[in-house]
Amino acid sequence: MTGMELAKAYYETYGKQMLEEEFPKYVNRIAVGLAGEGSECFGFDDAISRDHDFGPSFCMWLTKEDYQVISEDLRRAYNMLPKDFYGYPPRKEEPYGGERVGVLCIDDFFCRQIGRGDAEFTLMGWLSLPETRLATVTNGQVFTDPLGQFTAIREKLLAFYPEDVRLKKMAARAAIMGQAGQYNYARCMRRGETVAAQYALSQFVINTISMVFLLNRRYMPYYKWMHRGMLTLPLLGEEVGGLLKELVENGVSMNAWEGLEISSEPQALNSADRNVLLIEQICRLIADELRRESLSSETNSFLTHHGISIMSRIRDPKIRSLHLMEG
């Protein structure tokens, strides 16, 4: 049983009755579900996940006004529910994890992750929001929300970034993919700077995954789950994800660069290094998709140039005037 299935069964078996019998005046004002921090909220939990922050539990989100009135009584009632359920032991909380389940204030839940409880952001505000935080507040499931306030905020966020913000982020991802992957990885390897080359690969991987999420209009989860989440995306998810897996598992090797002069044709592709070919293959796939969606008019596969082309499609002058790699 997954953490989400366990949470829903636990609510339906014990939580629903507790709310109806002990809080009849508020039962139609409380949103219940499981969302936020934790692999079970993304649906990626497994046997390894069960050593912390896993067990029978669910979230109850209250308005600020209701939270001030009933939070203590509701928390007390929630803590009185049976701790063992369906053969699973009580939830083991990590001391630094914060309040992830139980009684939560709607404003606090969103403010903790994205700085506002109403999701009313300016374009620059949207631009500064980390994708991973947005993924955290929009993941999981809402089992019931009679009042609708919690769901309305989530739906506003799930509508995704305003288009100018999405374009700016895509331009930045394209620029860094080109700079770190297509340009600097090979230069570092020519110099024998394997640590710098590995870092360039890491930057390429992170920005590639983010680019694929942006193309799919989905928020990228935090680093532990970004690749796994990418594999579920319909557009380029599995194809690019597979190439990235091979790229990462290759690591870096100086064997393919032995005998090359540092100053000899620095921009020429070294086809002896499989990583170089994988990077180019990934960048061609991204470039083809950008052209297909009319997001770029560049004809080559160097993604930094595509980033500049994407920038020209941004309408807001302030966003368009930002540095290419900002966002």
Farthest-apart Cα atoms in the chain, separation: 79
Q: Average pLDDT in the 117-139 region?
A: 97
Residue 15 has pLDDT above 60, yes or no: yes
In sequence order, the 6+-apart residues with CB closer than 8 A to the CB of 3 are 34, 38, 39, 40, 41, 45, 49, 54
Please check whether residue 310 is in contact with residue 170, taking contact to mean a CB–CB distance below 8 angstroms. Answer: yes
Residues whose CB falls within 8 Å of the CB of residue 98, separated by 6 or more in sequence, listed in order: 37, 112
Question: Which residues are CB-contacts of 68 (< 8 A; sequence separation ≥ 6)?
Answer: none
Interatomic CA distance for residues 146 and 62, integer angstroms: 11
Residue 86 pLDDT = 87
Q: What pLDDT was estimated at residue 192?
A: 93
Per-residue pLDDT at 249 exceeds 90: yes
C-alpha 325, offset from chain centre: 19
Residues linked to residue 144 through DSSP beta bridges, in sequence order: 32
* pTM, entire model: 0.93
**Residue 327 pLDDT class (50, 70, 90 cuts):** very high
Per mean pLDDT, which range of 65-79, 98-112, 147-161, 226-240 is the poorest? 98-112
Task: Report residue 99's pLDDT band, with 50, 70 and 90 as the boundaries.
Answer: confident
Distance CA 78, CA 28 (A): 17
What are the tens digits of pLDDT across the range 290-316? 999 999 999 999 999 999 999 999 999
